[in-house]
Amino acid sequence: MRGQFTGWPEQAMDVLWQLQGEPTHATRERYRADRERLVRQPMIALLNEVADTDPRYEDFSVWHYRTDSWWWQHQGAVIRLGRKIEIGLRFSLDGLRIQGAWWYPDPGQVDMFRKAVASERSGRELSAIVEDVRKKGYDVSGDVMKRPPRGYPTDHSRANLLRHRSLIAARPLGCEEWLHTPEAVDRVLSAAVDLDALLMWLVRHVKRTA
């Protein structure tokens, strides 16, 4: 049901500004309630609306605060689509950022990824997907080896993908006026569509091993 998310209040930026640098414990405590109300709770509301739109997005978490000041300055959240496969969101003074990621893999998942990349059909599919994601403005990165792994030819046509031990596609969504309006939901859903082919390929080919 749409309507619960109305945008991040403009005061949310004021709170995050007060938490820049290395805020003292007293400063953090002074702004804790405001940060929860103005920064974290809107992220929860946004993801509830995203999940209402597509049931695949129902398994999400919105992070609490940690000792490191970075966690007070950035509000993170993830939507889990498969084992170690997720959509990540981050709200900060720079605006909203999204990424689709397969990372911190379980034992065996990297071998599954490599076999799927080496396979002609699934490998060509992933190569085309990654190229399309790049054209849409996403930065594609990950934990990448210096050379293709043992057992695969160094001149393999998809050597660059074989070198990956994780795969991340990310881009900033911006810091415009829409952040303070319900339009942010549609911006996230549109970006999720951009990432869907990549994430669903990973869900199909990099399965949970335990």
Per-residue pLDDT averaged across 190-194, rounded? 98
Is the pLDDT score of 5 beyond 80? yes
Is the pLDDT score of 210 beyond 60? no
Per-residue pLDDT averaged across 139-144, rounded? 95
| pLDDT at site 124 | 96
> Mean pLDDT in the chain?
94
Hey, what CATH topology would domain 11-205 get? BirA Bifunctional Protein; domain 2 (3.30.930)
Is the pLDDT score of 191 beyond 80? yes
Q: What pTM, to 2 d.p., does this model score? A: 0.92
Is the pLDDT score of 99 beyond 60? yes
Q: Which percentage of the chain shows pLDDT scores above 90?
A: 87
| pLDDT at site 208 | 63
Is the pLDDT score of 194 beyond 60? yes
Per-residue pLDDT averaged across 24-44, rounded? 97
Is the pLDDT score of 202 beyond 60? yes
| pLDDT at site 3 | 62
| pLDDT at site 149 | 81
φ/ψ of residue 193, rounded to 5:
-65, -40
Per-residue pLDDT averaged across 85-89, rounded? 98
Of 133-147, 149-163, 195-209, least confident by mean pLDDT is: 149-163
For 143-188, how does the pLDDT look when each residue is reduced to its tens digit (9 = 90+)?
999 888 888 878 788 888 999 999 999 999 999 999 999 999 999 9
DSSP symbols for the chain: -TTS-----THHHHHHHHT-SS--HHHHHHHHHHHIIIIIHHHHHHHHHHHHH-GGG--EEE----SSTHHHH-EEEEEEEETTEEEEEEEETTEEEEEEEE-SPPTTHHHHHHHHHHSHHHHHHHHHHHHHHHHTTPEEE--B-SSPPTTS-TT-TTHHHHTBSSEEEEEEEE-SGGGGSTHHHHHHHHHHHHHHHHHHHHHHHS----
Of 12-16, 45-49, 137-141, 145-149, least confident by mean pLDDT is: 145-149
| pLDDT at site 2 | 56
